[in-house]
Amino acid sequence: MIPLLSLAIIITPISNKMAWKITRFWKKTALALFGVKVKIEYKEAPSQLGKGGIIVGLNQQSLLDPTAGYSAWNYHVRSIWNIEYALIPFLGWTSFILGWVIIRQNPKQSKSQINKASKHAKNGGLVFLSIEGQRSIDGNLCPYKKGPVVLAIQSQATIHPLYISGSRECLPPGEWKIRPGVITLHFLPPIQTRGLTYQDRNILLEKVRAIGEREHELWRQKKN
């Protein structure tokens, strides 16, 4: 598995597209070896992602969340990663392939990377961000950050709300043993941001939060 990641890292400067395909294949294979299956459900047509936008993760339940997402998406999706994660050997190094790495202690560099992500979405690309910003320890939704909605408004890009279920059961917080199971990516109806301004950020955040709470409650009811 490590040789595949090494190959992806080496190829990145030559062909980011090919490096993406190798990384995606690695993630799919790694999950399959642990008996983890990934499914995608769309409230609307799958083509909703074809025009680009911001994929906003409504919940963050497990370290497997981004791995499951990138293994299943047919589109080239990029993201924003913290330098702490990017420095993890091999696994973190692939973040340079999948998006933009942010150094928190360098505001100028962080702003530059966010502007790149905004431009990418504005030009029809897909950007993935978790709106919680951290994994939930107790299974409840964490407070939502304004970053993803501000990025969507800045780029006037469509928001694609995404709720992930099943990942916590496959790899709970604090554990490193992956269990067999099914992870489902639930894509909900897209939210348009065209015409919205920075002053609309709180209203948009409340709308996204309401969707997240509704889906989280539906998942809990289904489990019980």
Domain presence at residue 40: yes
- CA dist 17 and 6 (Å) reads 15
Domain presence at residue 13: no
Quote the pLDDT of residue 27: 85
Quote the pLDDT of residue 79: 87
Domain presence at residue 20: no
pLDDT digits (tens, 9 = 90+) for 11-67: 766 777 788 888 888 888 889 999 999 999 998 877 788 889 999 999 999 988 988
- CA dist 115 and 15 (Å) reads 22
Is the distance from CB of 15 to CB of 118 less than 8 angstroms? no
Domain presence at residue 50: yes
Quote the pLDDT of residue 107: 80
Is the distance from CB of 127 to CB of 151 less than 8 angstroms? yes
Is the distance from CB of 13 to CB of 159 less than 8 angstroms? no
Quote the pLDDT of residue 93: 73
User: Nearest 5°: phi and psi at 184?
Assistant: -115, 130
Quote the pLDDT of residue 166: 95
Is residue 134 over pLDDT 90? no
Mean pLDDT of the chain: 87
Quote the pLDDT of residue 169: 94
Is residue 5 over pLDDT 80? no
Is residue 101 over pLDDT 70? no
Domain presence at residue 12: no
Quote the pLDDT of residue 59: 95
pLDDT band with cut points at 50, 70 and 90 for residue 83: confident
Quote the pLDDT of residue 8: 67
**Of residues 22 and 85, which shows the higher confidence score?**
22
Q: How many domains does the chain have?
A: 1
pLDDT digits (tens, 9 = 90+) for 145-185: 999 999 999 999 999 999 999 999 999 988 888 999 999 99
pLDDT digits (tens, 9 = 90+) for 179-223: 999 999 999 999 999 999 999 999 999 999 999 999 999 998 887
Quote the pLDDT of residue 113: 84
Is the distance from CB of 159 to CB of 190 less than 8 angstroms? yes
Averaged over 120-125, what is the pLDDT?
A: 92
| Domain with 144 in it | 34-223
Domain presence at residue 57: yes
Domain presence at residue 4: no
Reduce the secondary structure of the chain to three states and give it as a string.
CHHHHHHHHHHCCCCHHHHHHHHHHHHHHHHHHCCEEEEEEECCCHHHHCCCEEEEECCCCCCHHHHHHHHHCCCCEEEEEEHHHHCCCCCCCCHHHHEEEECCCCHHHHHHHHHHHHHHHHCCCEEEEECCCCCCCCCCCCCCCCHHHHHHHHHCCCEEEEEEECHHHHCCCCCCCCCCEEEEEEECCCECCCCCCHHHHHHHHHHHHHHHHHHHHHHHHHHC
CA distances for 166 relative to 62, 97, 107, 188, angstroms = 9, 26, 35, 17
Domain presence at residue 120: yes
pLDDT digits (tens, 9 = 90+) for 89-98: 666 677 777 7
pLDDT band with cut points at 50, 70 and 90 for residue 2: low
